[in-house]
Amino acid sequence: MQWVTTYAEKVVSASEAVSKIKSGNRVVIGSATSAPEYLIKAMIANKEQYENVEISNLVPLGKCEYAWEGMEKYFKYNGLFLSAGTREVVNSGRGDFTPAYFHEVPKYYIEYLPVDVCLVQVSKADQHGYFSLGGSVDYTKPAVDAAKLVIVQVNKYVPRTHGDSFIHVSDVDYIVEYDEPMPEYKSGAITEVEEAIGKNIASLIEDGDTLQLGIGTIPDATLTFMKGYKNLGLHSEMISDGVVDLIKQGVINNKVKSINRGKSLITFFMGTQKLYDFVNDNPGIEMRPVSYVNNPYIISQNDHMTAINSCLQVDMVGQVVSESIGTKQYSGVGGQVDYMRGANMSKGGKAIIAMPSTASKGKISRIVSVLDQGAIVTTNRNDVNYVVTEYGIAKLKGKTIRDRAKALIEIAHPDFRAQLEEEFYNRYKSSSKDINL
């Protein structure tokens, strides 16, 4: 087997591998669970050798040491979707942020931010010399394909996932062998508020719908109401533990999907070992690049596409803020607009934004008259149809701006309704109560 010899020739130590990164290079790190933590540690240890190395990624987990204070001497950070480890570097001005629809990110790393070096962790090679990219195909596979230099960490804990998730030994430049458990992401316990939101969302879902769900307790709560459903499909940027039991029980069986029938189509996942064991060598889970999975035109080819996403703030005309708190960048657009648009274009599709009615332990209403100064509109008011809170569902499409405001005030937290009503009056010189929806 020729690949065995090729493999052996490419194996190096982590310090040798990262010595191939040169000052001024753009280093793209695999997303979420595909980030090779051992290689990143070696790159940090080698920092004195670098100047102006750009680190770019989306949804980084882990410590993100390259973004810590003092690292700007060696690394400049450029995120396209922030997480806990990269918010500070961007909002303090030591790093930067590039806005991009998730489905376009592969194009970014080829055309606008061309990748020099790609760092990624992969499964052990199979008998034919193919590694699987495991948890992330999204931009990670296109970045591997486009990079001038590809360094992989071969890790026996990375699951072997199916779809367009394979790269051959001949396609990588350096191999570093190091086993470490996959990072785990655990959702919190479902609160009463999230349970009520989940119940309201579930009332919009019908047998045979194809679902897109994000991560967190709202999707988890929604899924607990799906037990009696039949023939649900999955076409989702990502999945977490919540879907595993429903697939095992045959509730999600992808049998009546319009495209990719029989497959749960995703581009990345993160969860616990329960999920990682489930996706391992599972041909029912099909991973493809985000340029396909999140392309609104592809999404829209699923009839009854139901997209469920979350946000931080919604104003009275239905503008949705999901990625910033005022001027502070919190996350990114990710796949939110991809799915809202895809669902709106789908025959019988539903574009849903769901959120608790308040934030900061009930002190702040997420439904507001006017957005916070500097807030970034993630989903514009024409792209959202349903807004859901624990108090109900506001259906926006087809409604005038005054009707929208009334519907949104009705699902705001009762503590804030009088204030919102006053702001409605100041704006429209009439009471929302005079409108019959």
Q: Which is nearer to ligand COA, 17 or 290 (CB)?
A: 290
Q: Looking only at residues 202 through 221 of this chain, which bind ligand COA when binding is defined by CB under 6 A?
A: 214-216
Residue 105 interacts with ligand COA (CB under 6 A): yes or no: no
**Residue from 54, 194, 195, 237 carrying the catalytic annotation:** 237
**Measured in whole angstroms, how far is the alpha carbon of residue 253 from the centre of its chain?**
23
**Please, which residues have CB within 8 angstroms of residue 185's CB and are 6 or more apart in sequence?**
61, 215, 240, 270, 271, 272
**Please, which residues have CB within 8 angstroms of residue 41's CB and are 6 or more apart in sequence?**
14, 65
Near ligand COA by CB under 6 A: residue from 106, 163, 271, 335? 335
177 is an active site residue: no
Near ligand COA by CB under 6 A: residue from 238, 305, 354, 376? 238
d(CA 294, CA 106) in angstroms, rounded, equals: 11
Q: How many residues bind ligand COA (CB under 6 A)?
A: 22
Near ligand COA by CB under 6 A: residue from 37, 286, 323, 383? 323
Q: Which is nearer to ligand COA, 55 or 211 (CB)?
A: 211
Residue 360 interacts with ligand COA (CB under 6 A): yes or no: yes
What tokens appear for 397 in the block? 């499409």
The DSSP call for residue 19 is T
**Please, which residues have CB within 8 angstroms of residue 5's CB and are 6 or more apart in sequence?**
none
Sheet holding 313-315, edge to edge: 320-321, 313-315, 367-368
- Three-class DSSP category at 174: strand
Q: Which ranges in 46-147 belong to alpha helices (H)?
A: 87-91, 105-107, 140-146
| Binding span for ligand COA by CB under 6 A among 20-28, 183-191, 260-268, 319-327 | 319-327
The length of the chain is 437
| Binding span for ligand COA by CB under 6 A among 44-52, 264-272, 283-291, 332-340 | 332-340
365 pairs with which residues across the strands?
A: 358
Q: Which is nearer to ligand COA, 271 or 335 (CB)?
A: 335
Q: Which is nearer to ligand COA, 138 or 286 (CB)?
A: 138
27 pairs with which residues across the strands?
A: 55, 117
From the CB of 262, what's the least distance to ligand COA, in Å?
A: 23
From the CB of 216, what's the least distance to ligand COA, in Å?
A: 5
Residue 359 interacts with ligand COA (CB under 6 A): yes or no: yes
Near ligand COA by CB under 6 A: residue from 366, 404, 406, 417? 366
Residue 310 interacts with ligand COA (CB under 6 A): yes or no: yes
Q: Which ranges in 225-305 belong to alpha helices (H)?
A: 244-248, 273-279, 290-293, 296-299
Beta strand pairing status for 328-329 and 324-325?
antiparallel
Near ligand COA by CB under 6 A: residue from 155, 336, 346, 389? 336
Residues at the contact surface with ligand COA, assessed by CB under 6 A: 214-216, 237-238, 309-313, 322-323, 325, 330-331, 334-336, 359-360, 364, 366
Catalytic positions, written as ranges: 237
